[in-house]
Chains A and B, each alone.
Chain A
Amino acid sequence: MNPDRNLGTLLDGTLHDTLAVSLPHFRPELCLAATIVLLLLCRMLPLLRLVDSGFLALGGVLFSLFFAWDDVLSLRGGAWASAIGDLLAGRQELFGGLLAFDSLTAYIRLLLAGFLVLFILFTKVSGIPDSEDGADFYTLVLGSTLGMCLMASANHLLMVFMAVEMASVPSYALAGLLKGRKASSEAALKYAVYGAGAAGVMLYGLSLLAGVLGTCHMPTMARALASLDSMWMPGGTGLALAIGGLMVATGLAFKLSAVPFHFWCPDVFAGAAAEIGAFLSVASKAAAIALLLRVAFGMGTTGPGPDHAVEMAGLGETRHFIVGVIALLAALTCTLGNLAAYGQTNMKRLLAYSTIAHAGYLMMGVAAAVALAGRDADASRSAVAAVCFYLVTYVFMNLAAFAIVALLRNSLRSEEIASYAGLIRTNPGIVVATGIVLVSLIGLPPLAGFISKFLVFSSVMEAVSLDAERPLMLVLLVVGGINTVISLFYYLRVLKVMTFDPPPADRTADAFPLVSIPGALVTALVVPVVSLGIFWSGLYAFARLAGAFAS
């Protein structure tokens, strides 16, 4: 063979793969990247500085949203086909297997782009960042989101690492955005140090896995794992795999702020502006959950193929390990998050612990999905759908919660829970909105948070009833139930302060009225929290579309 011709074929293949296959499914990310460049350009040219960076970013994100939607439609069958649940995953590997495009990618990207639109509008209303910081802020936010999109589609462990770093590094800078404030700088430093540590451990874990299995391409790794006799074979291979897996889990747990890697979370949320908290608690969490699904399913299952059944059986032990790790982290995270939220007096810290607790519930869903993967593909798909549904409701609940905190900060100059005392007297509308959000976070019907919890618990119960990792799933059910009850206290305490307690004597300014631009924003975020609690059939069908990647 002529080496030149060989090289030519390779180049042709790569070119075709990049231009014809990969890039058409990469348009949302390209839009974000182009917007970042534009934002930086505007900084440099004097005349263009007058352009408002927020609206520029919004324009770019809208394009990204459009393409993300277009990608959803491109999934086989069309999104609103008569039976949306029958759609196929439409899995395609991009960029030589580094990324995967399938229903989950499409769903999470749409979610992230949609969240960004709401988030940018929210920052325009709340006034952080100011016009001076705007370009930096939006560049960092879009850059981080770009990383999150990659997290949602990573198909290769190197890509996992790069995506996590791409999403994290801008977040460190965002945490320190309030330059004058000591707490903010401290939070940024703490976040960066933790992040660097977690990244190092994760990278080491990746190298162990790659060393044993000879590849970083997750589907290939899964096949290699399936052909191993047992994880606990002699010679230390199993041990290396287990340690590698745990180390990778550490990196993911850091992104998820799962216990015991959660210490950065309350400090960062309390130190940084509420806007940053909203971004980290929603977008970052959604991407981390998507990545957890990717890695767990990438390593624990194989796609359709001639030996599918044999491979899935061979991966039973791997899945058992993955489910064990995720379930343990989920139970710990949920319980500790809820317990630690008790003593908080600062609203942002309270929401930080609430975020941690909700990460726990989400991980329960992931654990159930992986446990069910070997038992019943359709049930596993439902479990993934439950998690995806949860993420959407979570966007509205948490964004609304942080928006209320930020907007109340603007008028009351405080983020302490005590400063909200007696707001019902002057601002009943805001208190009702807060009440709806918090009650939805507790998970009471007829609000969206209840449906999410119901779906996750029902998936875990389905795993119990199908005898998939039964003891573990039973523990998760009990832990989830107990946690729902304990979480009642601290959410309700905020409501209690707002309604029962008399207003402080030294309050100078009133909160904003509901009939105003900030009020309209809060209303727009709260209405879905209510309506998704009643009319959730459509969204659930859509979430099942995302779950198609698991079946």
Chain B
Amino acid sequence: MGIAPTLAVTQPAFWPLTLILFLPAIVAGILALPIIPRGKDDSVRWVGLATTVAVFILSLWMAVPAIFGTGSPGQFTVGEAGMQAVVKQPWIPAFNIEYLLGVDGISMPLVLLTTFLAVLAAAASWPIEKHVRPYWILFLLLETGMIGVFVSLDFFLFYVFWEVMLLPMYFLIGIWGGPRREYAAIKFFLYTLAGSVLMLLAILMLYFASDVRTLSDDQLLATHVVSPALEGADRAAALTAVHSHPKPIHTFNLLALAAIGQSPVSPFAATSFWGMTLESWAFLLLLIGFIIKVPVVPVHTWLPDAHVEAPTPISMILAGVLLKLGGYGILRICYPICPGAGLSFAWLVCGLGVVSMVYGAFAALAQKDFKRMVAYSSVSHMGYVMLGLGVWSAVAGHEYQWDAWAQGVNGAMFQMLAHGISSAGMFFMVGVLYDRVHHRNLEEFGGIFNRMPLYASLAVAIFFAGLGLPGLCGFIGEVLVTLSSWNYSRLLAVCSAFTVILTAAYILWAIQRVYLGAEYKGPHGDHLTPMTRRELAIAVPLVVLAIVFGVAPQLIFNYITPTVNRQVETLAEWTRSVHDGHPAAAGATAATDSGAVELQATIDTFTVGGGR
């Protein structure tokens, strides 16, 4: 409810989160004013880069207190499962819409990934000579949209940021893209808009079915429906105001919706249309919206076009961050709010994941265009994310092994972050080559290693990370997902393991065709100059991170595991109590089921020092 006696600006996380979120948009607004005179393109670039760096440092300050000294309120506490740094300010009281932000172990690493890749993409934007000022304005607006999706805890706000990204992306592809840019841009826009309209219907459905009065006092505080910052009499009054309200109080609060969806008598479980429950409808509508973004076969066809036509930095952002929005949405919204539907549609999510995995790999194998191959590799790699998220709910027919779920979801989260690094790196490496020889035909490359040894070694390292070579970041997520899916369906597990071979095939074949070989015979051979310092400054951090996260995955698991495990545990308990009629109390012991011990050992190898 709207009454917040403490002003939002006094909340410790207000300024850090708000600045991270809106600084890019504010600078974009300033750039739009004629302050920097025409023709001073370099000044615009520096302002843009400085903004992304400032936002990155701010998010680093929040996320990694170890560097800056802990203790400031508003910083993130690593290893804590719950929602932190919550900012709550009523926006539209008539609809209970709030400016509600917060981060937890799932969103914090993704925010960091976004701000980090934004810096690199900004640096990669230097060669863009056409319409420099509008480019940077749109780029910065895009950054605000992406961060906004990750930090919003209000469904309406989430949706606003989700849509805010569309228009900048449309223009970034449509104006600065390749020869078929217009087609690619409208296709991207259309697919995503279709998905988001479905999402809007689901949002409204859930909103009107929700009623926060059914939540207990503890839940109201935990979900920030009533601000836990309230003390004593104020808190009691706010709680009473909720419970004594004469009519249902609908909500857009994602945490509250999740609490309502997981309550034993969830209003979302009521039968709605054509014999399906309301949560099934909402789940499917939301899922379609999200898998378009992921993207998953068969709604992936916008992605190769968009990637191929987009300029290099935008491809980096697209692959590195935008695809993660879909996975994040499924993890944050679909499952917690519609657990029953998640359980009944597990086969769908897992099946879609495996289909895109295999299809993407085969399609990548068939490509002649270097960038298109990398684009299809994204489809394949994001399939692992879908599978990992899907096995979460997939244990219904078998024994309850909540840690197998947790393994899958942790793997999916890790895969998202790792893919953010490796795919952005791969697109950048393709871009470096394209800037020099102006073609991407795999058949016409060869011998790059002799001409640009430093570049080629970095590129091969990144491609190996994408391949999932042990010791590099791509390995961990894939192996966790594959292992966990074994419990759900051996067939799917075999398929996903088999895909690793296909991945190796297309990546090794590409490396062979591009980097190895005697000499480069394609066009513009004399332009194959060594990497510039700017390019090195982008490539080296990506390679270093790919290695660091491959060797020390606990750096990431420290963040994600506590939150993911808690969420999975809660849902496992919910499944037990609702679906099998076991009392909820029995849930606590279920983790000791046979076979789980072995899996627990596997996950523990990766989560040394993790939250559990």
Which A residues are closer than 8 A to B by beta carbons?
85, 378, 424, 428, 432, 439, 444-446, 450, 454, 457-458, 461-462, 464-465, 474, 477, 481-482, 484-485, 488-489, 492, 496, 499-500, 536-537, 540-541, 544
Contact = CB atoms under 8 A, between A and B. Distances in A.
B247 A500 contact: no
Contact of B94 (A85, A450, A484): A85
A461 B181 CA distance: 37
A109 B189 CA distance: 39
B94 A496 contact: no
B167 A444 contact: yes
Contact of A540 (B94, B166, B200, B247): B94
Interface of B: 32, 91-95, 134, 159-160, 163-164, 166-167, 170-171, 174-175, 181-182, 186, 189-190, 193-194, 197-198, 200-201, 204-205, 207-209, 247, 273
Contacts of A499: 171, 174-175
A537 B97 CA distance: 10
A544 B91 CA distance: 17
Q: Which of A424, A445, A500 has the most C-beta atoms of chain B within 10 angstroms of its own C-beta?
A: A445
A212 B207 CA distance: 44
8 contacts: A445-B160, A445-B164, A457-B204, A461-B201, A492-B186, A492-B189, A499-B175, A544-B94
Contacts of B181: 500
A432 B133 CA distance: 14
Nearest to A451: B92
A485 B201 contact: no
A457 B200 contact: yes
Contacts of B175: 499-500
Contacts of B209: 465
A439 B167 CA distance: 9
Given A458-B207, A477-B201, A500-B174, A537 B167 contact: no
A445 B92 contact: no
A485 B94 contact: no
B193 A488 contact: yes
B174 A488 contact: no
B395 to A, nearest CB: 33
Contacts of A488: 189-190, 193
Contacts of B166: 444
Contacts of B32: 432
Nearest to B177: A500
A454 B200 contact: yes
Given A465-B205, A465-B208, 14 more contacts: A439-B167, A457-B200, A458-B207, A461-B201, A461-B205, A461-B208, A482-B197, A485-B190, A488-B193, A492-B186, A496-B174, A500-B175, A540-B92, A540-B94
Contacts of B207: 458, 461
Contacts of B167: 439, 444
Nearest to A85: B94
Given A446-B164, A462-B208, A485 B197 contact: yes
A458 B182 contact: no
B375 to A, nearest CB: 22
A341 to B, nearest CB: 16
Interface centre among A485, A536, A544 (most CB of B within 10 A): A485
A489 B183 CA distance: 12
Contacts of A540: 92, 94
Nearest to A485: B194
Nearest to A446: B160
A481 B288 CA distance: 14
A462 B209 CA distance: 9
Nearest to A481: B197
Contacts of A496: 174, 182, 186
A458 B204 contact: yes
A475 to B, nearest CB: 12
Contacts of A457: 200-201, 204
Please list the 9 inter-chain residue pairs (A to B) with the smallest Cβ-Cβ separation, ordered nearest first: A465-B208, A461-B204, A445-B160, A481-B197, A445-B163, A537-B92, A485-B194, A458-B204, A444-B163
Nearest to A454: B200
Contacts of B197: 481-482, 484-485
Contacts of B273: 474
A252 B201 CA distance: 30
Contacts of A544: 94
Nearest to A536: B92
A491 to B, nearest CB: 11
A544 B92 CA distance: 13
Contact of A500 (B134, B182, B201): B182
B83 to A, nearest CB: 24
Contacts of A461: 201, 204-205, 207-208
A424 B171 CA distance: 12
A477 B160 CA distance: 20
Contacts of A465: 205, 208-209
A450 B182 contact: no
B212 to A, nearest CB: 16
Given A461-B208, A537-B92, A481 B163 contact: no
Nearest to A376: B247
B58 to A, nearest CB: 23
Contacts of A485: 190, 193-194, 197
Contacts of A445: 159-160, 163-164
A445 B134 CA distance: 20
Nearest to A428: B134
A229 B375 CA distance: 67
A473 to B, nearest CB: 12
